Amino acid sequence: MLASSISSSVLLFLLLLLPPAHPADASMQWVKLEGSPLSHLLLDPSVGQLFVGGVDHLYQLTSDLEVMSHVKTGPLLDSPDCLPPIVAQDCPSATPTHNHNKLLLLEAGAEPRPGAESGSLIVCGSLFQGICEKRSRSNISQLIYRTSNPVDTQYVAANDPRISTVAVVITTQSKQEAGMPGGELRLLLVGRGYTSRGPGDIPPITTRRLHPVAPPRRAFSQEEELGKLVVGSYSEYNNHFVKAVAHGNHVYFLFSRRDMRHTKEYRTYASRLCASDRSFYSYVEVPLLCRGGYNLAQGAWLGDLSGTPALFVVMAAGQASTPIATSRSALCVYTMKDLDATMRRAQEVCYTEGGLDSSGQEEAYIEYAVSSKCLKLPKVKVLVLIGTNVSPVLQVLVRPDRSGHLYGSLLVDGGGAIGADLLLDESQRHVYVLTDDRVRDARHPLPVCVQVSKVPVSSCERQTDCLSCLSIRDPYCGWCVLEGR
Ligand SMILES: *[C@@H]1O[C@H](CO)[C@@H](O)[C@H](O)[C@H]1NC(C)=O
């Protein structure tokens, strides 16, 4: 699916439980950065610093948006048709190519102890068949791992800026391996869309080794004994991945693709794996339904509904039978408990009815609808912030009486499109957003400049009296009633 096709709809969102109301700082901060479109925004919760990934640029920012460290990642001589290292004589199609940031993740280190690895920032770009590197979390200018001569098992991200890649870092216990004692094993589970150029045999979901790495093993490599999703024809599994999350002992992927077997329509699916399952025997997927014809997931967040973990998914209605999202969209919530129950049931039916075919992955799931749990929300006020590319950040209050209520929006100064990720700071009073400031250069079809903004979540204290405060219906403003202002 083309990324350009998700044009006029909701891109992604973030969930928070309403914290005790506090006066928020009304001033908004922002910083303009090169590298549009900025695709990823990541918070290091231990120090409050931000990492930003865009085209040809990576940044490390303080919580007040000061640039601490900046790395240029492109453009470099490359071609999706050639395997790295790129040598101009051997690759006539190689040209200076922009490097789109495809994955930006934190790899937690082992227990902090002297001499131990303190964890790293994982960065994967679209160049060189999507290879990845590790950088220091304390200073991204310091490279921890990169290979100049990658092998084909180390290609991770899609080599096409339009094809999505998602991933999640998990830690499991390893059995004793040759030359290595058993112990902690860190893996990267990757969901990647199909690309028509370059190596065409990379499965949609693969497991990659992160740590420990001792020769002949390599970081990010897809080893024989690590799991991968075996599918018949790669181009048929043209998954558009939206999210990968770890929850409990499982890893979940959210994606949309054409239902090849039945309706031929695009649908959204959730799939699940046991984190410790190196063979992917536990793989199961179920279609996600969102009543009202919303068939394409656009963004997702694993949140918490008063102690009940739930997947919040922004869904858009597709244009006819295409993967192109229209502006008609909705928020659907699925509790993980219900999702797990549906998957368990799908597995049972699968095994008892002998539907499992070891070579055909499509046999491994049963068409079983997960109904939307939008109508079963516990009694808690849940505020959902939704970033869109046509309007400001939307604020939606999910009410105990089963309804959602769009109560307002946060204006991001000068900003247009809200990109990639939305993040809350530790106090939950500010949200970090990526925006396009719509400054365009005739030579560049894309905006030349973008910014990271830090926006107060509530505008309560901008109101001078309680009545006007209440009139904006901001759930953060309960405090102002009690305090008489
Ligand atoms: C980060 O590392 C680079 C390269 O080693 C160095 O020039 C820079 O001063 C460091 N920055 C910080 C904030 O430590």
Read off the pTM.
0.80
Distance 68 CA to ligand 1 centre (A): 8
- In this prediction, residue 7 carries a pLDDT of 31
Residue 116, domain member (yes or no): yes
The minimum-distance atom of ligand 1 relative to the CA of 68 is: 13
Are 327 and 394 part of one and the same domain? Answer: no
d(C-alpha 233, C-alpha 200), whole Å: 10
99 with 210, same domain: the answer is: yes
Query: Does 102 map to a domain?
Result: yes
Is 480 part of any domain?
no
- Same domain as 223, residue 322: yes
What is the total count of domains within the chain? 2
In a domain, 254, yes or no: yes
pLDDT at 62: 96
Beta bridge pairs of residue 31: 452
Residue of 49, 58, 67, 69 to test ligand 1 pocket, by largest number of atoms within 8 Å of CB? 69
- Residue whose CA lies nearest to ligand 1 atom number 7: 141
Q: Residues 423, 298: one domain? A: no
Is residue 58 within 8 A of residue 101, CB to CB? The reply is yes
Ligand 1, atom 2, lies closest to the CA of: 141
Q: What is the pLDDT of residue 285?
A: 85
CA of 135 to the centre of ligand 1 (A): 12
Closest ligand 1 atom, residue 138 Cα: 14
Q: Specify whether 149 is located in the same domain as 211.
A: yes
- DSSP single-letter state for residue 446: S
Q: Which domain holds residue 420?
A: 382-472
The alpha carbon of 208 and the centre of ligand 1 are apart by a number of angstroms equal to 29
Q: Are 213 and 349 in the same domain?
A: yes
Per-residue model confidence (pLDDT) at position 104:
97
Statement to judge: residues 401 and 452 lie in one domain: yes
E-only strand ranges, 336-449: 382-388, 393-398, 404-410, 418-424, 430-436
If 0-12 CB within 10 Å is exposed, 13-18 middle and 19+ buried, where does residue 444 land? exposed
In this structure, is residue 367 part of a structural domain? Answer: no
Q: Same domain, yes or no, for 327 and 185?
A: yes
Residues in the chain where the model's pLDDT stays below 70: 1-26, 109-118, 175-182, 232, 349-420, 436-450, 457-485
Same domain? For 123 and 199 the reply is yes
Please choose from 66, 141, 142 the residue to mutate so as to test ligand 1's pocket, defined by most ligand atoms within 8 A of CB. 141
Predicted local confidence at residue 470, as pLDDT? 46
Sheet holding 29-33: strands in order across? 29-33, 450-456, 430-436, 418-424
pLDDT of residue 179: 57
What is the distance in A from the centroid of ligand 1 to the CA of 59? 12
Pocket test for ligand 1, best of 47, 139, 142, 143 (most atoms within 8 A of CB): 139
User: How far is residue 61 from each of residues 48, 53, 182, 304, measured CA to CA in Å?
Assistant: 9, 11, 37, 28
Q: Are 301 and 414 within one domain?
A: no
**Residue owning the nearest CA to atom 13 of ligand 1:** 68
Residues 289 and 208 placed together within one structural domain of the fold: yes
Say how many Å lie between the CA of residue 114 and the centre of ligand 1.
Answer: 22
Within this chain, do residues 193 and 285 fall inside the same structural domain, yes or no? yes
**Atom of ligand 1 at shortest distance to CA of 139?**
1
Please check whether residue 372 lies inside any domain of the structure.
Answer: no
> Which residues line the pocket of ligand 1, CB cutoff 6 A?
68-69, 139, 141-142
